[in-house]
Amino acid sequence: MSKAKAGIVVFPGSNCDHDAYHVLKNVLSVDTKFLWHKESAVGDRNIIILPGGFSYGDYLRCGSIARFSPIMKDVIRFAGRGGIVIGICNGFQVLCETGLLPGALMRNENLKFICKTVTLKVENNKSIFTSKYMIKEEISLPVAHGEGNYFCSEEKLTALIGNNQILFTYKDNPNGSVSNIAGIQNEGRNVLGLMPHPERVSEKILGSDDGRRIFESVAESVI
Amino acid sequence: MKEPEVTLELAKSLGLLEEEYERILNILKRKPTYTEIGIFSVMWSEHCSYKNSILEIKKLPRSGGRLLVSAGEENAGLVDIGDGLAVAFKIESHNHPSAVEPYQGAATGVGGILRDIFTMGARPVASLNSLRFGKISIDGFEETTSSEAEAERSKFLFKHVVKGIGDYGNCFGVPTISGEVYFEKCYQDNPLVNAMAVGIVKHNETATAKASGPGNPVFIVGSSTGKDGIHGATFASEEISEESESKRPNVQVGDPFTEKLLLEATLEVIKSGAVVGIQDMGAAGITCSTSEMSAKGNCGMEINLDKVPLRDKNMSAYEIMLSESQERMLVVIEKGKEKTAKDIFEKWDLNCAEIGKVISENKIKVYHKNKLAADIPANELVLGGGAPVYKREIKVPKYINSKRNFDYNNLKEPSDLNETLLKLLASPNIANKKWIYEQYDTQVRTNTVLLPGCDASVIRIKNTNKALSVKVDCNGRYVYLNPYKGGMIAVCESARNIVCTGAKPLAITNCLNFGNPYNPEVYYQFSESLRGIGEACKILETPVTGGNVSFYNQSKDYAVYPTPSIGMLGLLEDIDKMTTSYFKNKNDVILLIGNCRVNDKSELKDNFQICGSEYMNTIHNLVEGDAPDIDAVYEKKLHDFILELTGKSLLNSVHDVSDGGFAVAIAESCIMSPSSQLGCEINFNYRGRKDFCLFEEKQSLIIASADRSSINTIMRTAEIHKIECLEIGTVRGSRLKINFDIDLPLNALSGSYYNSINSIMEK
C-alpha cells in the first residue's frame, strides 16, 4: 500500500479536479482528498495536485489571482519544504504565476483554444514524475487550453536544459511553446508543471492510459 | 425618470396585438401599469408563450417509455436509465442574438441550456450544438461580389459562434462532444444556433420548478441584475431586419465562471434538502421565473424589487422585471432553512438575496420603492393558463408542386466520378468538422469514450457499465422539399446514428426553427414536419421530452429552410458493445444492410433518391424534387437488427449512409479512424446511372464490416429479421475502389475531407 496522500486543490473555477481525483482515488487507490481554496493548510497531504480549469475565471491572466488564494500560500511553503506538487494545465499556469516554476504561459500562437491529442517525448525519466517511462519514449496525451504557449528567457531556457528540468516536449508543437516545451520540473525536482492532461488518458477505456504512469511514478516515490 | 403612458400604441410597439391588449384590460379590469404591460408583452411573446405552436406541439407523443416527467412539465425532460439514475436533456435556440452578436449570442445560448439542466438537480455531462450559416465559400456557381461579401459575413458569424460556444463550455467544464453544421444560402441573414445539454441526476435528487408553501421565502441567487438583455424574448419573436443591428444591447452577456459557481452551489443546495422549487432565469428573467413557478404551484409570489442585487442602482421596476442578465436562479427555500441555503451560496461567493415570499393567492405582486408596480394573476401570464393560443392558417406552399415536377434524369452526368467524390468530401456540409471541435474541450470530466467525428458521440457513466450516446440532426433541405418526410427523416436519421454506436434510442428533444408563423405556407411546413416527427417518434418509441420553438427566422423575402433539429438520446447498457464507424481490420467483409436495392434491377429506373441530396446541391447547384422516401416501420426493424448484431459483438464497424450517399459513406469508413486508415474494394451491379447509384441518399441504409467467420450468423439473423444484407466488398489496401469507377488513394480522400473547412477558415 502506497504511503501517498494526495490533495487536489479546488479553486472555484477548477473543472478537472474530479478527473484527477478519480484517477488517484478510484484507478490507483491512493488516499485522496480535495483541498478547498479557502483552506489555509495542506495538512497531512504529501502530494498536491493543482488541477485544470479556470481557477478564478481567469478573465485576467490565467492563474494570476489564484496565486493569492489562502491555500496557495501553504502550497508554496509545502513546495519549499520539498513537498511534491503537480500542476496540470491551469495548475501549470498557477505554478508559473507563483514562481514555483520559471517562465510563463502565453496565448496559443493561433489564438484559438486547442483540444486534441498530441505526441509527447519523454526527455528525462530520472525524475519522480517520469520514472516509469523510458527515455525518449513517445506517448499520446490530450491538450485542452487557450494559453499553453510556454515562454521563458534565453537564460532560463539554458538553465532548464542544463539542469535536465525539461521532462516532456511536443513532437509536433501545437501552441508555439519555446523549445517545444510541454512540461518542466523545478530545480528542486519536486514540482512538475505540464500543459497536457495525463488524467484524461489513465484508463484504457478512454482510448489510452499513457498518462497514468505519471501518477504511478509519483505515488511510488512516496515512501 | 417618468414612465411612458400605457396606450394601445405602446402595447403594439412591445409586440402585442390589439386583441391581446384588449384581453389584458379584461384580465386586470383596469389599465395596466408600464411594468405590467412589459410583463405581459414578454410572457405572451412567442418565445415564452408558444401561442402559435402549442396546438401542433400537443400532437407529439410527449409521455410514456422511460420518461419520468412529461414534456413541458419541468425545465427539461427526464428519462430513466436504470441504476437509480435519470438523464435530463434539452435543446434550445439562440438564433436571433447570434445573428447580431455571434459570440455572446452563442455563449449565452449554451449558458441558458446548461442552467435548464442543473436546475433539475442534474450535473451537465455533455453539450451539443446544431448550427446553420450561409455559404462560407463561393462555390463557382455565382461568382458575384455580393456572394463574396456574403461568404465573408458567414465566416465571421461561424467563427465567432464557434468561439462563443467553446469559451463558455470550456470554462464551465462540460465537454462539447457532438454537433452538426450546414451552410446554405437560406441561412445567410438568419443563422441558426441551437444548443443542447445533457445531465445526469439520481432519482431522489431531482428538483422541481414548482413553487409551493405560502410563507416560504423566495431568493434570487447568482449574478446581480443589470440592464442587459431587456426584451430579449420579444426580440426573439420578430423577424430579423436592418433594424436588428440596433438590438445588439438586447443580447445578454455570458459569464461562464459565475455559471460554474452557480452550478456547484445549485447542486449543493438541492442536495441539502432546503429547496422547495427552483427555476433558472433565461428569457424574461424574474418575470418568467416568478410567474411560471407560481402558476405551476397554483400559488403566487410577493416580490420586493428593492432587495434584488443590482449592477445599476438606477433601474426601474420595468427594467428589473425584464432584465435577462445571465447566471441567475429563482429559488423557493423551505422556511427555517434560509441559513443552510445562504451558507452554501456564500461558500461559492454568490449573491443569495431574499426578495419575497410565496403567497396562497395566485398573483404576482411586485413592489418597487414602496409602490405596487405590478399585480397580475400568475396563471393569466403563462402557457396553459391565460396566454393566448392561436390556430394558424395552413396553405401548401407554391414551390412544392413546381419542385416535384423536376425530372432528375436530365441532370448532366459527371465525366469523372473520382473528382465528383473528392468534391463532395470537401463540401463544408460533408467535410470533417475538426476545425470546430478542436476548439471545444471534448474530454473534460473524463467520460468521453467516443469523440466527435463519428455518427454520434458516447460518454460513459462512471460507476456503472453504461454509456450514453447522443446526437443532434436535421437535414433542412429534405424538410423544405417535403416537410412531412423531412421531419420523419430527421428523427429516423438521428436514431440511426445512435444505433451506429451500438446504443438504443430512448427519447428526443427538438428545436423547431421556422419562418414567420403568420405566413400560412410557413405554417404548413411547421405543421407537416411536426406530423412527420410525431409519427416517427411513435414508431421508434422515442417520445419527445421537450424542446423549443423558434419562429421568425425570416428576413426580407425569404425564410430559412424549415429546420426542426432533433436531439436524440440513446443508451448503451454495456459499454463494451460500443461500435464505431470506421473499418478496423484488413480482410473484414463489408456489408450493405437495410434499404439496399443496389443489385435490384427490378427497381423502377426512375426511383432514385437523388433529389435533395448533397450531390445535387454541391455538384449541380440544385435543390429540387422530393425528399428521399422513408419508412419508419422498416427503420425500426433495421435498428433492432443492427442492435442484435452489435449486442453479440458481430460487427466491427457500423456507419449510416447519409449526406453524399453510399460513396461518401464508404469513403468515411475508410478514413475516419483516428489511428490507422484502411482501404477497401467494393463491387456491385449498377441498377441505373452510376452517379445516382453512388450518391443518392437512400434512407435506412447501413455500411458495416465484420469478420469473415461471423458472416453466416449475420446472414441467418438477417433472414429472421427480414432485413436485406449484402456482401459488397472487402477491407484491404490503401485505396478506395468501387467497381471500376472510383479508384483513389486514401490520402486524397483525407486531403479533401479533413482540410476543407480549415483551408476556408484560415485563408
- The CATH code of the domain that includes A71 is 3.40.50.880
Chain B's closest residue to A141, CA to CA, is B443
Helices B34-43 + B18-28 axis angle, to 10: 120
Split at pLDDT 50, 70, 90, the class of B141 is: low
Q: pLDDT per residue over A129-188, tens digit each? A: 999 999 999 999 999 999 999 999 999 999 999 999 999 999 999 999 999 999 999 999
Please check whether residue B118 touches A, CB under 8 A.
no
**Mean pLDDT, rounded, of chain A:** 97
Residue from the list B260, B442, B674 with its beta carbon closest to the beta carbon of A115: B442
Scanning B664-683 for CB atoms below 8 A from A yields: 674
Residue B606 pLDDT exceeds 60: no
Split at pLDDT 50, 70, 90, the class of B143 is: low
Instruction: Determine the average pLDDT of the residues in B122-149.
Output: 85
Residue B76 pLDDT exceeds 90: no
Instruction: Determine the average pLDDT of the residues in B112-141.
Output: 93
Provide the shortest C-alpha distance from residue B268 to chain A (in Å). Answer: 14
Residue from the list A13, A19, A202 with its beta carbon closest to the beta carbon of B445: A19
Provide the shortest C-alpha distance from residue A28 to chain B (in Å). Answer: 15
Read off the C-alpha cell for B22.
384588449
Residue from the list A12, A144, A203 with its beta carbon closest to the beta carbon of B444: A144
Q: Is A186 left (phi over 0), alpha (psi -120 to 50) or beta?
A: beta
Collect all residues of chain B within an 8 Å Cβ-Cβ radius of residue A60.
Answer: none
Q: Of A147, A152, A197, A216, which one is the catalytic site residue? A: A197
Give Cα separations from B634 to B250, B500, B569 (angstroms): 47, 16, 20
With residue B295 as reference, give the H or E element that holds it.
helix B285-297
Rg of chain A, C-alpha, whole Å: 16
Collect all residues of chain A within an 8 Å Cβ-Cβ radius of residue B434.
Answer: 116
DSSP state of A81: T
Q: pLDDT per residue over B264-286, tens digit each? A: 999 999 999 999 999 999 888 99
Give the position of cell 426601474.
B316
Q: Of A16, A62, A89, A96, which one is the catalytic site residue? A: A89
Own/partner contacts of B134-141, CB < 8 Å, gap of 24 or more, are B134/B183, B134/B184, B134/B185, B134/B187, B134/B188, B134/B189, B134/B191, B135/B183, B135/B184, B135/B185, B135/B188, B135/B428, B136/B183, B136/B428, B136/B757, B136/B760, B136/B761, B137/B428, B137/B760, B139/B618, B139/B621, B141/B621
Chain B's closest residue to A207, CA to CA, is B449
Q: pLDDT per residue over B729-763, tens digit each? A: 999 999 999 999 999 999 999 999 999 999 999 98
Chain B's closest residue to A58, CA to CA, is B257
Please check whether residue B535 touches A, CB under 8 A.
no
With residue B572 as reference, give the H or E element that holds it.
strand B563-572
Q: pLDDT per residue over B367-414, tens digit each? A: 999 999 999 999 999 998 999 999 999 999 999 999 999 999 999 999
**For chain A, how many helices (H) and strands (E)?**
5, 11
Q: How many CB pairs below 8 Å do chains A and B form together?
A: 88
pLDDT at residue number B480: 98
Residue A203 pLDDT exceeds 60: yes
Question: Is the CB of residue B256 less than 8 Å from the CB of residue B109?
Answer: no
Contact state of B257 with A13 under an 8 Å Cβ cutoff: yes
Split at pLDDT 50, 70, 90, the class of B140 is: low
Read off the C-alpha cell for B637.
426493424
Residue from the list A54, A112, A207 with its beta carbon closest to the beta carbon of B257: A54
Q: pLDDT per residue over B543-561, tens digit each? A: 999 999 999 999 877 899 9
Provide the shortest C-alpha distance from residue B701 to chain A (in Å). Answer: 29
Please check whether residue B133 touches A, CB under 8 A.
no
Question: Is the CB of residue B306 less than 8 Å from the CB of residue B313?
Answer: no
Instruction: Determine the average pLDDT of the residues in B515-533.
Output: 97
Lowest mean pLDDT among A23-27, A69-73, B236-240: B236-240
Residue type, B428: P
Chain B's closest residue to A116, CA to CA, is B438
Residue B142 pLDDT exceeds 70: no
Please check whether residue B255 touches A, CB under 8 A.
yes
Scanning B44-73 for CB atoms below 8 A from A yields: none
Residue B644 pLDDT exceeds 80: yes
**Mean pLDDT, rounded, of chain B:** 94
Torsion of the alpha carbons at B437, B440, B445 and B451, rounded to the nearest 10: 0
3-state helix, strand, coil in chain B (%, to 5): 40, 25, 40
Structural domain total, chain A: 1
pLDDT at residue number B282: 82
Contact state of B348 with A12 under an 8 Å Cβ cutoff: yes
Instruction: Determine the average pLDDT of the residues in B293-318.
Output: 95
Collect all residues of chain B within an 8 Å Cβ-Cβ radius of residue A144.
Answer: 170, 441-444
Read off the C-alpha cell for B593.
444492410
Contact state of A15 with B255 under an 8 Å Cβ cutoff: no
**One-character DSSP codes across B82-124:** ETTEEEEEEEEE-HHHHHHSHHHHHHHHHHHHHHHHHTTTPEE
Q: Of B47, B160, B231, B368, which one is the catalytic site residue? A: B47
Scanning B151-210 for CB atoms below 8 A from A yields: 163, 166-167, 170-173
The proportion of chain B whose per-residue pLDDT surpasses 90, expressed as a percent, equals 88
Residue from the list B258, B260, B575 with its beta carbon closest to the beta carbon of A15: B260
Collect all residues of chain A within an 8 Å Cβ-Cβ radius of residue B173.
Answer: 15-16, 53
Provide the shortest C-alpha distance from residue B590 to chain A (in Å). Answer: 25
Q: pLDDT per residue over B27-65, tens digit each? A: 999 999 999 999 999 999 998 999 999 999 999 998 888
Question: Is the CB of residue B99 less than 8 Å from the CB of residue B70?
Answer: no
Collect all residues of chain B within an 8 Å Cβ-Cβ radius of residue A117.
Answer: 674
Collect all residues of chain A within an 8 Å Cβ-Cβ radius of residue B200.
Answer: none
B203 catalytic? Reply is no
Residue A59 pLDDT exceeds 70: yes
Which domain, by its residues, includes A159?
A: 5-221
Residue B598 pLDDT exceeds 60: no
Provide the shortest C-alpha distance from residue A179 to chain B (in Å). Answer: 23
Sign of the CA dihedral B163, B164, B165, B167?
positive
Contact state of B171 with A56 under an 8 Å Cβ cutoff: no
What is the C-alpha separation between B358 and B371, in angstroms, rounded? 19
A152 catalytic? Reply is no
Collect all residues of chain B within an 8 Å Cβ-Cβ radius of residue A19.
Answer: 444-446
Split at pLDDT 50, 70, 90, the class of B1 is: low
Please check whether residue B438 touches A, CB under 8 A.
yes
A145 catalytic? Reply is no
pLDDT at residue number B599: 47
Split at pLDDT 50, 70, 90, the class of A91 is: very high
Instruction: Determine the average pLDDT of the residues in B691-716.
Output: 97
pTM above 0.90, yes or no: yes
Q: Is B138 left (phi over 0), alpha (psi -120 to 50) or beta?
A: beta
Q: Of A97, A147, A199, A216, which one is the catalytic site residue? A: A199
Contact state of B449 with A205 under an 8 Å Cβ cutoff: yes
What is the C-alpha separation between B504 and B498, in angstroms, rounded? 7
Contact state of A115 with B255 under an 8 Å Cβ cutoff: no
Contact state of A144 with B348 under an 8 Å Cβ cutoff: no
Residue B650 pLDDT exceeds 70: yes
Give Cα separations from A98 to A154, A158, B174 (angstroms): 20, 21, 28
Chain A's closest residue to B159, CA to CA, is A112
pLDDT at residue number B585: 97
